[in-house]
Amino acid sequence: MAEGGTKTSFDIATVGGLAIGFALVIAAIIFGGSPGAFIDIPSVLIVIGGTAAITAVSFALGEFLGSGKVLMRTIFHKSRNPADAALQILQLAEIARKGGVLSLQGHLDSLQSEEYLWKGLSLVVDGTPPEEVEAIMRKDMNATIGRHQKGANIMKKAGDVAPAMGLIGTLIGLVQMLGNLDDPSSIGPSMAVALLTTFYGAVLANMVFMPLAGKLERNSSDEELLNSVYMVGAVSIGRQENPRRLEMLINSILPPSKRVSYFD
C-alpha cells in the first residue's frame, strides 16, 4: 500500500508572500522619510471597521464569524499529491480484484485520515450499488466545494468593499478640508490625511483579501481533483472493473505531470 495520507502543512508561500509584500511597502514608506504621515487612526477605523461591517451585511452572521477559520485554511492547508492517491487507489483496486470487494474491509481502518475515500469504500464494502456510491460521493464533493467557495466569496467581497470604504473616507476628509479653506496652511496636511483611507483600502484589497481569495480557490481546486480521483476509484472498485481501466480513467483527470504508470 502507498504510504501517507492527507497532511496538514504550513503554507510558507502565503505567509512569506504577505510578509515580503508588506515589508516592501513599509520600507518604501520609511525610506521616504515620513513614516508618521501614514498613520491615521480615524482612517484605519473607517477602512477596517467599515469593511468588516459591510462584508457582514452580505453574509449570514455565522458565515462571517467563521471567516477566521477560512483564513487559517490558507496558512495550514491539508493536501496530498494526487499521484500518490492514484497509486493507493490502484493498489486497493488490485486487492479487490484478487480477493473480492469484501477483502477491503481489513484496509478501511488505515484509511481513516482519508475521510472521503474511507466513506466511498465503506459504501462499496457494505454492498451499496456503484451508481448510488457515485451519487453520494458527488453530492458530498459538491457540498465541500460550495463551502470553500463561500469562504472565497467572503474574501472577495471584503476585497471589493475595502477600496470603496477608502474612497468614502477620502471624501469625508475632502469635505472637512474644503470647510477650512480659510486656512491655506492646513490644506496640504488635510489632503494627505484624506488620501490615507484610499491607501489603506487599496493595500487591504490588493495585498490581503484578493490574494487570500485566490489561494482559497486554488486549494479548493486541488481538493476537488483529489476527491475526483477517490470517487472514480471507489466507483470502479464497486463495479469490479479491471484496474488497468481504472488507471486510464484516473490519468484522464490528472494533469500530465501527475499521471501514473502503475502497471507498466
Beta bridge partners of 10: 76
Higher pLDDT, 6 or 177: 177
pLDDT at 6 over 70: no
pLDDT at 2 over 60: no
Domain-located, residue 8: no
Grid cell at residue 259: 499521471
Where does 7-129 have alpha helices with state H? 12-31, 41-44, 50-57, 61-65, 67-75, 82-99, 115-125
- Is there a contact between 219 and 74 (Cβ–Cβ < 8 Å)? yes
pLDDT tens digits along 180-208: 777 777 777 777 778 899 999 999 999 99
Query: Which helix or strand (DSSP H or E) is residue 226 part of?
Result: helix 210-238
β-strand pairing of 7-10 with 76-79: antiparallel
CB burial of residue 63 (10 Å; 0-12, 13-18, 19+): middle
Domain-located, residue 21: no
pLDDT tens digits along 76-109: 877 788 999 999 999 999 999 988 898 898 888 8
pLDDT band at residue 5 under the 50/70/90 scheme:
low
Domain-located, residue 29: no
Domain-located, residue 98: yes
SS3 for 40?
coil
pLDDT at 3 over 70: no
- Is there a contact between 222 and 254 (Cβ–Cβ < 8 Å)? no
> What amino acid occupies position 73?
R
Beta bridge partners of 7: 79
Q: How many C-beta atoms lie closer than 10 Å to residue 91's C-beta?
A: 15
Domain-located, residue 131: yes
Angle at 93 between CA 89 and CA 95, to 5 degrees: 120
- Mean pLDDT of the 231-236 span: 94
Domain-located, residue 178: yes
For cell 473616507, the residue is 169
Domain-located, residue 261: no
pLDDT at res. 178: 81
* Count: domains in the chain: 1
For cell 469484501, the residue is 102
pLDDT at 164 over 90: yes
- Is there a contact between 150 and 217 (Cβ–Cβ < 8 Å)? no
Q: How many C-beta atoms lie closer than 10 Å to residue 96's C-beta?
A: 23
Domain-located, residue 187: yes
Domain hosting residue 189, numbered range: 39-72+80-253
pLDDT at 1 over 60: no
Q: What is the pTM of this model?
A: 0.83
Q: How many CA atoms lie within 13 A of 188 on its CB side?
A: 3
